[in-house]
Structure 1
């Protein structure tokens, strides 16, 4: 009788545990199916910049709140577009405020993914994990601050994966939140600063596009492109500086391992 009751409660318990994950998957599927993610491009920003600025002038506080919420949702749903949103933040709000809004929004969204992974999947992973995976998780948690700072500063792995994995590996909540917040600051402000001077880039690209259309004639819309690569906005010096910070973050881990070998 007791066994039957536990079996009956099993699906309900699983649904209670998995509903946040199922909700994220469902909303992500809806967004991708409807094609809403295609609006997160610099081309769309260039095309709508005047209307966006007018909206900001009329509803400034609402614009700040809406942007932060949009950023958080984009990260939580693991939809590509974070870099574009950061550049857009610098363009619309200035590099300082835009950078702050981006860091806050990204941290909120990443924390949501962390909590979903920890509550929905961690117990299953621990139950199924072999000794090697368990040892890896223990080692990761031991130096979680250094590892997470490195992964945030240098995007070796996709952002969504770095949001998901710590929750599965048992990293503490505040370690995750603080390393996420601090670790994304350099790259975020670099892109926000790049977006701050985007007007001249848009104007130059628009002039080039219109010139191409004039030369190409009727078939110009197929052969001419208005495209801007967000990655091209960063200088080599900025990229090297951010990578150097990532290497610095691993120094405590390397030092600890070397000290163990010498003992």
Structure 2
């Protein structure tokens, strides 16, 4: 009896299926960037504001469900318009409910990307890193020793793109529960700021202006967020100092 070739189509098919979700997300991200970037804008929201407000007043639950579902799709497929969606949450639902909906939808979308990447490419890379020797394995061990701190930093530091903070942890094999915890808690500060901007959006539209998202970089806004990032990094700093003392 001849031994089957591991490269036969029957063996390759499961691997292709594992990589399919992430491939679909990446393709959708590229297509969405090209086709939707001129449509999911504040000008579009301005044009439909009265219709949306009227629908909210008559069908609140339906609009809330549709908003969350749309936001999940935007995040899960890395489509343009996440900032517009966050501000829209505040505009339609107020600060408390808007922040709740924004955090819930963004977290669900992030989890979908994480699982899609981890199921396919992430599982392959994590296995290779685990069986490797040298610097790569040491880096992974250090990451696992400081996993929560690193993940919080990725969420809190504005320079890290949201898509990267969703994808990279899956590729290096971080624990799922730590990813979920740091995602939900780590995006709350930014979500509050975006939602707060949305609360005053009606007045901005009435003046004929466009929301100024540069507010995020004002010292009174970015300062507390960077302070939280410093707190997230503190455990790593303490471990590093203790490690040097032991040496």
Structure 2: where are the runs of 5+ without partners?
A: none
Q: 1:169 aligns with which of 165, 172, 185?
A: 172
1:118 lines up with 2:118 in the alignment = yes
In the superposition, the TM-score normalised over structure 1's length comes to: 0.85
Q: Distance in 2 between matches of 1:5 and 1:132?
A: 30
2:47: which partner in 1?
A: 47
Contact 1:190 1:234 in 2 (8 A): no
TM-score of the two chains, using structure 2 as the length reference: 0.90
What SS is found at the alignment partner of 1:171?
A: coil
Question: What is the CA–CA distance in structure 2 between the aligned matches of 1:73 and 1:160, rounded to whole Å?
Answer: 13
- Measured in 2, the distance between the counterparts of 1:25 and 1:2 equals 37
The whole-number CA distance in structure 1 between the counterparts of 2:228 and 2:198 is 22
- Partner Cα separation in structure 2 for residue 2 and residue 58 of structure 1: 66
The correspondence of residues 122-161 of structure 1 with structure 2, limited to 5 A, is 122-126=122-126, 131-161=134-164
Number of the residue aligned with 2:68:
68
CA pair 126-148 structure 1, distance change in 2 beyond 3 A: closer
Partner of 1:260: 243
Cα deviation digits, residues 198-229 of structure 1 (max 9, x gap): 111111225xxxxxxxxxxxxxxxxxxxx444
Q: Which moved more, 1:60-69 or 1:116-125?
A: 116-125
CA contact 1:87–1:230 (8 Å) conserved in 2: no
Alignment of 1:84-233 (within 5 A): 84-126=84-126, 131-205=134-208, 227-232=210-215
State the shift of 1:26 in Å.
Answer: 3.8
For the 8 Å contact 2:99–2:192, the answer to whether it is kept is yes
For residue 241 of structure 1, report the CA deviation from its aligned partner.
Answer: 0.9
Shift of 1:14: 1.7
Q: Once the 2 structures are TM-superposed, how far is the Cα of residue 43 of structure 1 from its aligned partner?
A: 1.9
Please state how far the C-alpha of 1:127 moved relative to its aligned partner.
Answer: 5.6
Residue-pair matches, total: 242
CA contact (8 A) 1:145 1:175 kept: yes
Partner of 2:83: 83
Query: In structure 2, what is the equivalent of residue 221 of structure 1?
Result: none
Bigger CA radius of gyration: 1
CA distance, structure 2, for counterparts of residue 43 and residue 230 of structure 1: 14
Match of 1:12 in 2: 13
Contact 2:201/2:211 (CA < 8 Å) preserved in 1? no
- Does 47-56 or 93-102 show the bigger shift? 47-56
- 1:250 paired with 2:198, answer no
